[in-house]
């Protein structure tokens, strides 16, 4: 059976009849003449079009009934361009690129219909020719997952891989990553590998490489420029800074959040400017920011995921907290309202959780600003019931930190100490 993912009804019949598969280079005579690669379709699409990717990079839909003639020029395998020979220059710094999947690594999807990452070093040099002028990039595929499917076990595997490279001659490590949970991964690596001697840079793209507005190449190039030119350690996320192609932001891995579903500048540093702004060859540092001062590298690679993130809201049933206690959770990170509050209907459940020995930390669903639990009676009551305010840490980062702190502590007291210690710039001054 031919590979015709997503095609159905008339269009499926038409393609089968003409013996054409996804990935084939084809020529179509319709109102005009088109040459391009047959693309897969979404299951939910109509059945009266086929989709072609033109050499320019644009995808077009062509109505079946307008097609006068269709002709296969070469089949899927052959239409993949020959791998270019990788240029190396031993004078250039070495960079390691680890791919975990995501939009940035899904270039080939649309040619073959398969979800395999395309990020070999050769692909890279093809996509972004400038790279071979500034660095020797080794590339390695870790996973091929959209980031919504990445789990703590993937964080651990990534951290272990990087930890093994502590004595390598790489100038920096770049991780190609889906954008959905990139800030969760960057937070984990920030804690687990705090003090790692070279920068670890996560990079993604909001639009895939086959779209004219793709940010894959610019973001990747900026990440490599940053790794090559800036002497720092720490974990960063490198993505578009604004809606132009001019500036790329480099965010601290613990202070960044995906704040827009689709914009290229979706990632924002919370409560500050980004750590660096990369503007072609000019890299500007956020002067107000202290840099990572951890001198010693002591990896802490354990994790315990028995942590719940509870977003409080009017009507929240405290029985949900009882269920968490019952299920053996060891810590709860609250996303409270305002300065760090939850309703007084929750007090009994909180008291019980505290008595059972759970760590209870408070963050704010406002996202921006700082918890301050001494201003109002509610906050003071909650502190007396055992809730610890967690400064201005971002709720998602607090969750990841709690999983990490729990995994690397002997007791809840030890964990609490870790939670209050500024390990990787997760609290601002």
Which chain residues interact with its own copies by CB under 8 A? 42-44, 115, 146-152, 154-155, 179-181, 184-185, 258-263, 266, 305, 307-309, 311-315, 317, 319-320, 323-324, 327, 335-345, 364-372, 374, 376-378, 380, 383-384, 396, 399, 403
- In this structure, the strands spanning 388-389 and 359-364 are parallel
Hey, which residues are catalytic here? 103, 179-180, 258
What are the CA-CA distances from residue 98 to residues 11, 109, 186, 218, 318 (Å)?
Answer: 38, 18, 14, 17, 43
Secondary structure (DSSP) of 167-197: TS-EEEEEEE--STTHHHHHHHHHHHTTT-S
- The SS3 assignment for 384 reads helix
Nearer CB in complex with its own copies: 371/409: 371
Q: Minimal distance in Å, beta carbon 109 to its own copies?
A: 9
Give the chain's length.
Answer: 429
The residues with which 361 forms a beta bridge, in sequence order, are: 333, 388
Q: Minimal distance in Å, beta carbon 131 to its own copies?
A: 27
Q: Minimal distance in Å, beta carbon 344 to its own copies?
A: 5
Q: Minimal distance in Å, beta carbon 230 to its own copies?
A: 28
Q: Minimal distance in Å, beta carbon 384 to its own copies?
A: 8
Task: Order the strands of the 49-54 sheet from edge to edge.
Answer: 59-63, 49-54, 33-38, 25-29, 69-74
How far is it, in rounded angstroms, from Cα 213 to Cα 204?
A: 14
The token pair at 312 is 């409080």
E-only strand ranges, 67-211: 69-74, 94-99, 136-141, 170-176, 200-203
Please name the residues in contact with 207: beta carbons below 8 A apart, sequence gap of 6 or more.
103, 213, 214, 215, 216, 264
């Amino acid at each position: 059976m031919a590979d015709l993912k997503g095609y159905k009804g008339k269009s499926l019949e038409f393609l089968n009849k003409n013996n054409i598969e996804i990935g084939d280079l084809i020529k179509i005579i319709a109102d005009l003449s088109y040459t391009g690669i047959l693309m897969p379709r979404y299951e939910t699409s109509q059945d009266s079009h086929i989709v072609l990717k033109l050499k320019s990079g644009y995808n077009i839909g062509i109505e079946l009934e307008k097609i006068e003639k269709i002709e296969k020029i070469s089949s899927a395998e052959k239409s993949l361009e020959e791998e270019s020979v990788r240029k190396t220059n031993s004078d250039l710094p070495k960079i390691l690129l680890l791919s975990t999947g995501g939009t940035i690594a899904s270039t080939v999807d649309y040619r073959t219909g398969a979800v395999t990452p395309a990020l070999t070093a050769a692909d890279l040099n093809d996509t972004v020719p400038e790279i071979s002028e500034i660095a020797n990039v080794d590339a390695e595929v870790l996973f091929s997952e959209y980031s919504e499917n990445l789990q703590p076990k993937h964080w651990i595997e990534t951290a272990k891989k990087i930890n093994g490279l502590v004595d390598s001659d790489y100038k920096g490590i770049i991780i190609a990553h889906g954008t959905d949970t990139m800030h969760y991964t960057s937070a984990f690596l920030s804690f687990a590998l705090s003090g790692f001697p070279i920068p670890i840079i996560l990079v993604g793209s909001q639009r895939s490489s086959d779209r004219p507005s793709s940010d894959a190449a610019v973001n990747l190039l900026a990440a490599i420029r940053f790794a090559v030119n800036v002497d720092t350690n720490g974990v960063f996320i490198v993505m578009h800074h604004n809606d132009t192609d001019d500036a790329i932001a480099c965010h601290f891995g613990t202070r960044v959040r995906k704040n827009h579903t689709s914009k290229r500048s979706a990632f924002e540093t919370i409560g500050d400017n980004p750590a660096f702004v990369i503007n072609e060859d000019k890299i500007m540092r956020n002067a107000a920011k202290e840099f990572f001062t951890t001198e010693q590298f002591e990896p802490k690679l354990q994790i315990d995921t028995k942590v719940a993130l509870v977003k409080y809201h009017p009507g929240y049933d405290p029985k949900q907290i009882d269920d968490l206690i019952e299920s053996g959770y060891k810590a709860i990170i609250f996303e409270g309202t305002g300065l760090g509050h939850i309703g007084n209907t929750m007090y009994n459940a909180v008291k019980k959780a505290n008595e059972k020995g759970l760590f209870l930390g408070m963050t704010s669903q406002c996202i921006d600003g700082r918890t301050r639990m001494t201003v109002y009676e509610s906050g003071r009551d909650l502190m007396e019931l055992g809730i610890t305010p967690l400064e201005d840490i971002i709720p998602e980062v607090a969750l990841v930190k709690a999983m990490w702190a729990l995994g690397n502590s002997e007791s809840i007291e030890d964990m609490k100490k870790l939670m209050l210690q500024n390990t990787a710039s997760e609290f601002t001054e």
